[in-house]
Amino acid sequence: MRDIDIRSALHNQFLMDYRLDGISRIVDELHICGGNTIADLAVINGSLHAFEIKSSVDTLQRLRLQSDSYIKVFDYITIVVNGNHLNKVMDTMPDWFGIWLIEDEGDEVRRTIIRPARKNGSIDAFSVAQLLWKDEAIEILLQEGHSKKIKTMRKWLLWEYMAQNIPTDRLSELVRLKLKQRQNWKESGFSKGIEPSK
């Protein structure tokens, strides 16, 4: 199966409940850690859940580096594979990563949950803050009662300030809310989570 086939199955079958629940947002190709890594698909609701697709035509060469970045940002991480990658992923990924096996079965696509994702205990506050555009970071800090002086900070300094001054759980909650409210990802052609030029 190709990436596009697996992605379609995720959107139209296996993540359909999230699409319909009224509280979740599904984002394709979410850039994280300053754009150095791209999550194939992210579900945003009361947590951040990354789904990394490894189709039969993909290699696993970058997966270790990708997973190191995912661990900094996502509450849950699931690797979605074809059978040819299953054993390698099981052997190399942390045991709290979820693994889904996706296979063609005639005219249907079948999912086997090899193991469900468990909660990540290693979230990095700065990496979570990096998901925000500058204006979103400023809005959050003002909302949380911080000085208006933060408006003059560069984006990286804003992220550092947030990581140092807002508890990680609270910061994660605020960031998820901003991502769910973000209106101009697709309208501005930035549906992949890249900050548009101002």
d(CA 127, CA 70): 10
d(CA 108, CA 4): 15
Question: How high is the pLDDT of residue 185?
Answer: 66
- How confident is the model over 60-67, as a mean pLDDT? 88
The phi-psi region of residue 53 (left if phi > 0; otherwise alpha if psi is between -120 and 50; otherwise beta) is beta
- Which CATH code for domain 3-115? 3.40.1350
Crossing angle of helices 63-73/83-92, nearest 10°?
60
Predicted TM-score of the model (pTM)? 0.89
Average pLDDT, the chain: 89
Domain ranges of the chain: 3-115, 125-184
d(CA 46, CA 179): 12
